[in-house]
Amino acid sequence: MKNNTVLGIDIGGSGIKAAPVNIKDGKMLAERHRIPTPSPATPENVASVITEIVDHFKWKGLIGCGFPGVIQNGVAKTAWNLDKAWLSTNIDKIFTKACGEPVFVVNDADAAGLAEMKFGAGVGVRGLVLLCTIGTGIGSVVFNNGILVPNTEFGHIEIKGMDAELYTSDAARKAQNLSWEKWALRFNEYLTQLEFLLSTDLIILGGGASKKGDKFLPYLDLKTKVVTAELENNAGIVGAALAGQYQYKLAKKERKLKKGKK
* Interface positions with ligand BGC (CB under 6 A): 68-70, 78, 80-81, 107-109, 133, 135, 137, 139, 153, 155, 165
CA distance linking residue 165 with residue 109, whole number of Å: 14
When the beta carbons of 81 and 200 are compared against ligand BGC, the nearer one is 81
Give the shortest CB-55-to-ligand BGC separation in angstroms. Answer: 25
Residue number with the shortest CB distance to ligand BGC? 137
Give the shortest CB-70-to-ligand BGC separation in angstroms. Answer: 6
Give the shortest CB-166-to-ligand BGC separation in angstroms. Answer: 10
**Residues 51-67: b if buried by 16+ CB within 10 A, e if exposed:** eebbeeeebeebbbbbb
DSSP symbol at 136 = S
Give the shortest CB-207-to-ligand BGC separation in angstroms. Answer: 7
Give the shortest CB-224-to-ligand BGC separation in angstroms. Answer: 21
Give the shortest CB-25-to-ligand BGC separation in angstroms. Answer: 25
When the beta carbons of 157 and 227 are compared against ligand BGC, the nearer one is 157
When the beta carbons of 59 and 143 are compared against ligand BGC, the nearer one is 143
When the beta carbons of 5 and 46 are compared against ligand BGC, the nearer one is 46
Distance of CA 220 to the CA centre of its chain: 23
When the beta carbons of 157 and 185 are compared against ligand BGC, the nearer one is 157
Give the shortest CB-107-to-ligand BGC separation in angstroms. Answer: 5
Nearest residue to 239 via CA among 106, 100, 69: 106
When the beta carbons of 64 and 155 are compared against ligand BGC, the nearer one is 155
When the beta carbons of 122 and 139 are compared against ligand BGC, the nearer one is 139
